[in-house]
Amino acid sequence: INSFHQECLYYLNTYGTHLALISFYMRHDGMKEALTYLINKDCPEEIFLEGVLQPSLERGCLGMLQGILEKLDPGLESCSRYLMASCQFLQRRAYYHSLYQLQQFMMFIPPAGGTAGTSLPFFVHVYQSDPESDFVQRWLVRAKEHLKTYLQEQQGRGGGRRRSQVNSFRKMMSSSDVSRSHMNTIELQLEVTRFLHRCESSGSSSLPTLFGGSPMKVEVACKVMLGGKNIEEGFGIAYRVIQDFQLEAQAVYVRAGQRLVRQKQYGSVRQLLKCVGESGTATKNDCDALILDCAKELESLILEMKSAENKVQ
């Protein structure tokens, strides 16, 4: 290192800010020095994002960043908060492929809160941009394998760095949470995707997924229920969605019934009533309420008629 470089380092160490020194290291191919300084000084996450992550992304050096972090902090304990902040940053910026790469580096271990540390944002992005792509189904299978690996590690069959990371790297879901929540969601989403693809009913370029909130899950159940050749074909999968996510069944049935009325598929309304009645969980009052809501929808359509004579008929 020449004397001019040393003078700059002395000045920045004496008078400069953390960000200024880290940025200097990064500009002069000193990523290791930048990360060592950042970890030793316990710098805020914002400095890591601005001083290290963004320059690494711009130069295509995310893999190099991961390698240096692993050497400096094999258990990823000291840098865990920087990694989580990076996931959140990448999700906000919609850098889904970089996000997925970072998630794989983090061993796809779901955090206790939010989805930024899982691959769910990447899936939603891909699914909504091309819902009928075979890649979507391949990704779901891969995500399922990620979770199986995690569950095996939790049960003591992992080793080396992964086992250490499971014990030390940030708050994580228990294996039962992962199995019940993420695994079931992925399996059911895979079934929904295959069903809609087979029925060729997913013509929209932006479809809801089971990784959203309750309103989105209700919409998924409704689309599946109406997506088959008849109501009975899709009702079974839709009913599983309702049961697995504890959705308000009546809300799904009413939405489906109203759409059928608007499409003048009155025979399908009768099929819907039959399936609801045979589900074993609906009461007579539920069926009556569904009929009333469908009747109200039909009444509203009648009121939109321009001819008074036609309204009477």
Sign of CA dihedral 281, 286, 287, 293: negative
For the chain, give every domain's residue range.
1-94, 176-312
pTM: 0.58
pLDDT band at 89 (very low <50, low <70, confident <90, very high): very high
Residue 64 phi/psi, 5-degree rounding, is -65, -40
Residue with the larger pLDDT of the pair 100 and 176: 100
Residue 192 phi/psi, 5-degree rounding, is -65, -45
Instruction: Supply the angle between the helices 62-72 and 31-40 in degrees, to the nearest 10.
Output: 50
Residue with the larger pLDDT of the pair 94 and 157: 94
CA-to-CA distance for 64 and 105, rounded, in angstroms?
Answer: 12
How high is the pLDDT of residue 42?
94
Q: Find the range with the poorest average confidence among 59-73, 185-199, 285-299.
A: 185-199
Q: Convert the pLDDT of each residue in 227-245 to its tens digit.
A: 989 999 999 999 999 998 8
CB 245 within 8 A of CB 202: no
- Give the mean pLDDT of 168-181: 50
- Give the mean pLDDT of 74-96: 87
CB 85 within 8 A of CB 49: yes
Q: Convert the pLDDT of each residue in 105-129 to its tens digit.
A: 876 444 433 444 455 555 555 555 5
Q: Is 284 exposed, middle or buried (0-12, 13-18, 19+ CB in 10 A)?
A: exposed
CA-to-CA distance for 163 and 169, rounded, in angstroms?
Answer: 10
Residue with the larger pLDDT of the pair 272 and 190: 272
CB 117 within 8 A of CB 172: no
Residue with the larger pLDDT of the pair 310 and 221: 221
- Give the mean pLDDT of 276-292: 88
DSSP 209: -
Q: At residue 220, does pLDDT exceed 50?
A: yes
CB 96 within 8 A of CB 125: yes
Rg of the chain's alpha carbons, rounded to an integer?
A: 27
Residues forming beta bridges with residue 172, ordered by sequence position: 111
CA-to-CA distance for 260 and 234, rounded, in angstroms?
Answer: 14
| Nearest alpha-carbon partner for 52 in 93, 84, 82 | 82
Residue 111 phi/psi, 5-degree rounding, is -75, 170
How high is the pLDDT of residue 309?
59
How high is the pLDDT of residue 141?
74
- How many C-beta neighbours within 10 Å does residue 201 have? 17
Per DSSP, the residues of 232-267 read: HHHHHHHHHHHHHTT--HHHHHHHHHHHHHHTT-HH
Mean of pLDDT over the chain: 79
- Give the mean pLDDT of 62-87: 90
Residue with the larger pLDDT of the pair 161 and 224: 224
Q: Convert the pLDDT of each residue in 290-310 to its tens digit.
A: 999 899 888 876 666 555 555
**Which amino acid belongs to residue 299?**
E
